[in-house]
Chain A
Amino acid sequence: MDRRSFLGKIGEIGAAGVALSALPIVGACAPDKEEAKPSGKVRIGLIGPGSRGQLHLANLQQISNAEVVALCDIYQPNLEQGLAMFPAAKAYTDYRQLLADKDVDAVVIATPLNEHYRMSMDALSAGKHVLCEKAMAYTMDECLEMYNSAISSGKVFIVGQQRLFDPKYLKALESVRNGEYGPVVNVRNYWFRNADWRRPVPSPEYEKLINWRLYREFSRGLMTELACHQLQNGVFATGQLPVKVMGSGDIVYWKDGREVFDNVCVIYTFPNGVNMTFESVISNKHFGMGEQILCKEGTVDLPNGRYYPEEAPKKTAIRQLLGEIEKGVFSNPAFAGTSWAPETAEDTSGISIMPEASGDGSLEMMRAFCDACISGVQPEGVLKEAYYGSILCLLGDEALLQQKILEFPEKYKVD
């Protein structure tokens, strides 16, 4: 099956009512399918070569069927850093000029959240394929309009939800969807950091340009920057959309003039009563980042690609003894017997779901985008999943701001 057929199959499955089938994407990412790449090159213009934009550029340097022909930024240092990576690219300071460039087939948008809608819509109008960073847009209405426009444009539109392209996530979530670990009973997401989320500003007039994540006019804070990735997992895992959301957020520690919460806790409830939580604090990093699908028979740790069965095999005698020695205990473990019964030693680090997987899916996502641009086939299941990820994070932020339990609005459900 060639890449075109692969991507086409994703679309067929999406249309059949399944939110997204992981397997075809895993297949599309598999190295042995690289031979089936469509021929040709896609000429890319990247808008916003800041930190995330430069990561995309680094990935594009590894993709043979991509050529970065244009870069755009209103902040000169970022533009120069991007040009250092692609010296032959044309430089723009107005994204509309980049969109008017006939040498550009596709654009990658890595700008502040509030610009996503306008730039994406303009890009589609200009006939460009689009990869727009997540979250999709600043409002749910904008997301819906972008989704519909992308579908009707016939252009490729991917939102930068790289987990949708991370083989270990896809493999794990496929197993969850297939019921291999029993029914999903809870979804836990958290992201803890201990930093002010600020970037150095050369002079005060650049504060909002550079630290846009901290200000409401540009950003919805932790919900759009972090929750977006994780909420999409819950929808993917359960195959359902939550029916309601509630939560609480505040500025607890970083009272430095920022406008977005530095501490949020949100609960989404699925139709079957299963809850999905998202917690984020940026003044304590002890537990780091976690995305866990709790099933009746085990727990899937998505970022680490590991599975922890509920019924852990018995510890071996020596392991028990070792644990006791580490606690300074002189014990007399009871294990002696006439024969040995085979047992699997407890592996406290869980079972690796896909040991060969590496990276976070960003490179695979960019590869898929380039291939899709060349083949002209939109992997629509991916867009739908990403759309719902954005809708959920925005709905969650609304619940935080309104301090109400909000129901999932019918108007934002898409076919």
Chain B
Amino acid sequence: MHSRLELLFICPDAVKARHLCEMAERLVKTQSAEFDRHNPDSPTALLNASSGKVVVNEDLFFALELCEKFRSLTGGYFDIAALSPDRSRPAYELFPGTHEAAMAGKGHLVDFGGFAKGFALESVRNIFSAEGITDGLLNFGNSSVVGMGKHPFGPCWRVRSEEGGRLFELNDSAFSMSGRSRSGKDHIIDPHSSSPASAGPWVAVSGRSALVCEILSTAVYAAPLGERGTIMKSFEGYIATYGS
């Protein structure tokens, strides 16, 4: 995922805390390897290179299912196939009975940017919750952040954006920011035009799920101004704010 995951959580048992960190690291590294389309041996790259049905592992199958669902819910503005030369959709077909996937054609490819960090954060949060961790801050690359429970000395976790000073107050919630890179480059593709979206410096979405926040921040940044409200209406409890 070419980024950094930082975990801060409250756990009185140091051995357990270390164990949880190791579990999280293993999990994220595994996911990163699975979703890396640039590694020719990864499941994602093998799918992109395939010309027919291929069996995919459970994580990848689940991710492909989710992505297609969210593509539909966002009016096509969240699209892991946005980089495909071929703009026909759907870009792939899933066969639940056999856990197979098939790309729609040679002109299609999937890329899990805009999805993988949120997916990983949710996975880590689930592990931590299952292990009894109630309070913590999980930061993936400064653009996707989860606040579990609350800060030891406050009612929530507070994080401010570097630009614009937007304050996020997280209490069992998350936020995600998408937009121009720090170098000023427009890198999010509008799937409908296959061109880089250029809709201001950033969009931030906050709400319950880190994965949904990441998907929505990507989608609303890519969408025209008039479409943004429509997309957000489908996701109750999620709030988008826009940098100017």
Question: Which A residues are closer than 8 A to B by beta carbons?
Answer: 316-318, 321-322, 325, 328-342
Contacts and interface: CB of A to CB of B under 8 A. Distances in A.
Nearest to A328: B153
B87 interface: no
A325 B157 CA distance: 11
B160 interface: yes
B141 A318 contact: no
Nearest to A321: B8
Given A317-B6, A317-B142, A339-B143, A334 B181 contact: no
B161 interface: yes
B168 interface: yes
Nearest to A342: B4
A339 B3 CA distance: 9
Interface string B223-235: 0000000000000
Nearest to B169: A332
A220 B137 CA distance: 59
A335 B202 contact: no
Contact of B142 (A321, A325, A329, A335): A335
Contact of B153 (A322, A330, A337, A340): A330
Given A336-B142, A338-B181, 11 more contacts: A322-B8, A325-B152, A330-B158, A331-B158, A333-B160, A335-B159, A335-B160, A335-B162, A336-B204, A337-B182, A339-B182
Q: Please tell me the size bucket of the interface on B.
A: 35 or more
7 contacts: A317-B142, A330-B153, A332-B160, A334-B160, A337-B143, A338-B180, A340-B3
A332 B158 contact: yes
Contacts of B181: 338-339
Greatest chain B CB density within 10 A among A335, A338, A339 is at A338
Given A318-B8, A328-B153, A338 B139 contact: no
A122 B115 CA distance: 81
Interface in B146-176: 151-154, 158-163, 165-168, 175
A339 B160 contact: no
B118 interface: no
B160 A336 contact: yes
B70 to A, nearest CB: 20
Interface in B48-81: none
A33 B1 CA distance: 44
Contacts of A340: 3-4, 141-143
A118 to B, nearest CB: 58
A322 B152 CA distance: 11
